[in-house]
A and B are shown apart, each in its own frame.
Chain A
Amino acid sequence: MFDDFFIRALFAGIGVAFVTGPLGCFVVWRRLSYFGDTLAHSALLGVTMAYSFQFNIAISVFIISAAIALILIQLQKKTNLPGDALLGLLAHSSLAVGLVVIGFLSFIRFDIMGLLFGDILAVTVNDLLIIWIGGALILVVLKLIWKSLFASTVNYELAEAEGLNPDRAKAIFTILMAAVIAISIKMVGLLLITGMLIIPAAMARNVSTSPLQMVFYSIIGGLLSVILGLFSSLEFNTSSGPSIIAASLFLFILSLLKIKQTAGLKN
């Protein structure tokens, strides 16, 4: 039988995949992958805060990422700098500050590799609870704002004109992004979280014809990536994050074959 830690990691990964599937679709549709990266980089600062104040890592990461997201929205309103420059500014400065703080916390032993790339050995029962309860909450909120968020993704003005309040949906979605990063950081690691969001969704895009279908395939892709990735991580003794992402890349390449096939049928 598998060890307890592996079962925990498997359940944690499955929980994460259920949430990153639908959110990842919106990241792809709204072209937010660099935004996801920025929030993920700022998560390092959240982790150091958690260690400094003996706080839960997921909650601390959520607070810091959400704060960075709000700062970004303010900067976008107040400066004339282009969006990607602001994202770069926040991503790298929060990463740098996080690393500097780690330098000061020399009395604590940090597993930097685990933070950056995920560590299945580190998943505790507490983490499992946070992933499943937090994940369920994220999905419930996403369901509630779905109509408004999706309509404004297609066309902002149409959503606004027909009374769907797209600004509120966008703000709530930003918070959800911070939350999904907070719950997946231990599994995937902060450098690869965006990959977990966009690669299964990109794979799903290749095989879908409707939005709900894409969400469905994105979840399936995420689940398969987690299962494949974790088993190979156990087998080859590799970090969990890179193994999961490599598995999702494999699925993406398979989905390209399907595109070729349908293109062939058309011709």
Chain B
Amino acid sequence: MSSNNNILVKLKNAGYQLNNKFLVEGVSLEVQKGRIVTLIGPNGSGKSTTAKIALGIYKKIEGEVEKYTDKVGYVPQKISIDWTLPIRVNDFMLLTDNISEDQINEALSLTGVIHLKNKSLGNLSGGEFQRVLLARAISKKPELLVLDEPVQGVDFTGEIALYQLIKKIAEELNCGILLISHDLHTVMSATDHVVCLNGHVCCSGSPSDVAHNHEYKALFGEQASKTLTIYEHNHDHIHTNEGDIKKN
């Protein structure tokens, strides 16, 4: 079974219920090394829940989860730092792993927040904090990255740069990424496989497959479908911070 060696996590008909109500059910998907799988769907469609099932945070689940790696980096959707806890960015980088000073500096530089290294976590802006969260998750060179809305609150140009960084990380570290995002534009240009959720899997496949799927159109509207299709034909260039267009 040589093809299975690349699988990092696999969900088989997985679901999770709270107070006898399914938050999500019947999800099957797999994340392989070097591939980016994106979960899309409206609010409350079970995207974060699916990610938490894959991570093993929820224990009493329906179906099965097979995880083939312990080297996991996670960017949760929401995290609040209690003011009673004095903690600097540098302390936060060491939260779950004893990584070296060089690894800390490298990761913080990649996400553009090296200058915040000795700042208190409570004093960061939303976008800065998101960049620190991403830096922490990639710093330990994980095999599996789970990113739950990793660029929320980041400014527009920063958003594009971070998505490019995420794609670059997937290639360089050869790690698998499970990504959750609302932003159809940016996600689609970087994604290998899309899973569209609405309490269950509506449709899944390559970005263009999903864009043409009628269930996807019903969920997001005709406009969203066009967005995806346009992007399919447009991703041969990037916009730099200075506003120039650079050919890939």
Which residues of A does B touch, CB under 8 Å? Answer: 28-29, 31, 147, 150-151, 153-155, 157-164, 205, 208-214
Contact with A along B53-89 (1 / 0, CB 8 A): 0011100000000000010111010010110111110
Return the chain B residue nearest A213 by Cβ. Answer: B86
For the A-B complex, the count of residue pairs with Cβ-Cβ distances under 8 Å equals: 67
The answer to whether A158 and B95 touch across the interface, beta carbons within 8 angstroms, is: yes
Given known contacts A154-B87, A161-B72, A205-B84, what 15 new A-B pairs fall within 8 Å (CB)? A150-B95, A151-B96, A154-B81, A154-B85, A154-B92, A155-B76, A155-B79, A157-B76, A158-B74, A160-B56, A161-B55, A161-B56, A161-B76, A162-B74, A208-B86
Residues of the B chain whose Cβ atoms lie less than 8 Å from the Cβ of A162:
72-74, 96-97
Return the chain A residue nearest B95 by Cβ. Answer: A151
The answer to whether B96 and A164 touch across the interface, beta carbons within 8 angstroms, is: yes
The answer to whether B85 and A211 touch across the interface, beta carbons within 8 angstroms, is: yes
Residues of the B chain whose Cβ atoms lie less than 8 Å from the Cβ of A154:
79, 81, 85, 87, 92, 95
**Chain A contact residues, majority secondary structure:** helix
B146 at the interface (CB under 8 A from A): yes
Enumerate the 4 nearest inter-chain pairs by beta-carbon distance, A residue then B residue, closest first.
A161-B55, A161-B74, A162-B96, A208-B86
Q: Given A158-B79, A161-B72, A210–B84 Cβ distance below 8 Å?
A: no
Residues of the B chain whose Cβ atoms lie less than 8 Å from the Cβ of A209:
86, 88, 120
Residues of the A chain whose Cβ atoms lie less than 8 Å from the Cβ of B82:
29
Contact with A along B24-40 (1 / 0, CB 8 A): 00000000000000000
Residues of the A chain whose Cβ atoms lie less than 8 Å from the Cβ of B56:
160-161
Task: Give A225 to B139 CA distance when docked, in angstroms.
Answer: 41
Q: Given A151-B95, A154-B95, A209-B120, A161–B57 Cβ distance below 8 Å?
A: yes
Task: Give A210 to B122 CA distance when docked, in angstroms.
Answer: 12
The answer to whether B91 and A161 touch across the interface, beta carbons within 8 angstroms, is: no
The answer to whether B84 and A158 touch across the interface, beta carbons within 8 angstroms, is: no
Return the chain B residue nearest A164 by Cβ. Answer: B96
Q: What's the minimum C-beta distance from B144 to chain A, rounded to whole angstroms?
A: 10
The answer to whether A210 and B91 touch across the interface, beta carbons within 8 angstroms, is: yes
Residues of the B chain whose Cβ atoms lie less than 8 Å from the Cβ of A153:
85
The answer to whether B55 and A214 touch across the interface, beta carbons within 8 angstroms, is: no
- The 26 listed contacts between A and B (C-beta, < 8 Å) are A29-B82, A147-B96, A150-B95, A151-B95, A154-B79, A154-B92, A157-B55, A157-B74, A158-B76, A158-B96, A160-B55, A160-B56, A160-B57, A161-B52, A162-B73, A162-B96, A163-B70, A163-B72, A163-B96, A205-B84, A205-B86, A210-B86, A210-B87, A210-B88, A211-B87, A212-B91
Task: Give A245 to B15 CA distance when docked, in angstroms.
Answer: 52
Return the chain A residue nearest B77 by Cβ. Answer: A157
Task: Give A160 to B73 CA distance when docked, in angstroms.
Answer: 11
